[in-house]
Amino acid sequence: MPGESIRNASRSARTPSQREAPTSARAYWVTGPLQGELRDEPLAPPGPDEALVRTLYTGISRGTEALVLRGEVPPSEFAGMRAPFQVGDFPWPVKYGYCNVGRVEDGPPDWVGQSVFCLYPHQSAYCVPIEALHRIPDAVPPGRAVLAANLETAVNGLWDAAPRIGDRIAVVGAGSVGVLCAWLAARIPGCRVELIDINPRRAEIAERLGVDFALPADARGDADLVIHASGSSAGLEQALALAGFEATVLELSWYGTKPVTLPLGAAFHRRRLTLRSSQVGQVATAQRARWDYRRRLGLALALLVDPALDGLISGEDDFDDLPAVQARLAEDPGDALMHRIRYR
């Protein structure tokens, strides 16, 4: 994925619509531990094969963005954790984010007016190469499309996990990625899927998506496949406990600098369990020869036609309030799943 591309272009070659384009934008920057601010930035007009996009919505990818805001990206991962259009370096100041939905205001004629998704930070307008944009299907409301990046992660996780028809599947952790994994798995014929979380209020979204729900003490065991997405050592420990003989536990959580301990001296070896990581930065091994990032994100956008997924949008605030919202969610996420930011 190319980096940020805001290029100068000849003013004499600009069309009337380009002359009326904005010359500045506001962007959210992380400036310190649990601190962020909105900054005004110059915005050059789009060059050849570029488009100017006016942001409609962004989504807060709560787990990863909270780690960035708390300064918990380990130095060894500074390069690997860079977002496609990130500006600045970890820990801070850094412009970070990747759930951006907007409308093309200037660029190639067949793109102008299109609703698009881009892996771009929280910013009111921006110019990027056309190849960085993904058209949102007509059947998908732009406000729902902020889920595309999280759904892409869930798709990649299911590819890595390779569930089979009829499997008993446990998903531990009902954040947005865990919920989306359970939703996808429940559509495999014969699979019995249970979503497990310490928050009993997650039962509502599970019911809406047609998935069973259980508190940790009530979860069924002997699963053929366990997907872990709680981001906690306790959740991963339970994931191992729920796995049946020779089952796979797929780890989707990312812990940053937080240490994780596991009881591998218990039944882990006797039950011959497989603990496997999955991360969206690479297309899953089984698909890599035929799928690229663009095809995978296009699939995620197409899957967003289901209106039941609106239940994952757990809150919404104005862009002007984003610094305070980010700090609040990083310290106390409460019932937040995908928190949406709207732009004027």
Three-state secondary structure along 219-274?
CCCCEEEEEECCCCHHHHHHHHHHEEEEEEEEECCCCCCCCCCCCCCCCCCCCCCE
Three-class SS state of 328: helix
Q: Does 5 have pLDDT greater than 80?
A: no
| Fold agreement between 11-137+305-342 and 154-277 | no
Q: Contact, 220 vs 196, CB < 8 A?
A: no
CA distance linking residue 255 with residue 261, whole number of Å: 12
Distance (Å, whole) CA 186 – CA 188: 6
Give the per-residue pLDDT at 337.
97
pLDDT tens-digit readout, 273-307: 999 999 999 999 999 999 999 999 999 999 999 99
Evaluate whether the domain defined by 11-137+305-342 bears CATH number 3.90.180.10: yes
Gap between the Cα atoms of 90 and 96, Å rounded = 10
Q: How far apart are CA 228 and CA 175, in angstroms?
A: 11
Helices (H), the chain: 16-19, 62-70, 148-161, 176-185, 202-208, 233-242, 293-303, 322-331
Antiparallel, parallel or unpaired: β 94-95 and 87-88:
antiparallel
Taking only the tens place, the pLDDT of each residue in 15-42 is 434 446 789 999 999 999 999 999 999 9
**Fold assignment, 154-277:** Rossmann fold (3.40.50)
Cβ 250 vs Cβ 194: under 8 Å: no
Order of strands across the sheet with 94-95? 35-42, 24-32, 94-95, 87-88
Query: Under a CB-based contact definition with an 8 Å cutoff, are residues 83 and 97 in contact?
Result: yes
Q: pLDDT class for 344, splitting at 50, 70, 90?
A: confident
**Helix pair angle (176-185, 148-161), 10° resolution:** 50
- The chain-wide mean pLDDT, for the chain, equals 93
CA angle 277, 281, 286 (to 5 degrees): 65
What mean pLDDT comes out for the span 180-200? 98
Which sequence spans correspond to the domains of the chain?
Answer: 11-137+305-342, 154-277
Digit-coded pLDDT (tens) for 160-178? 999 999 999 999 999 999 9
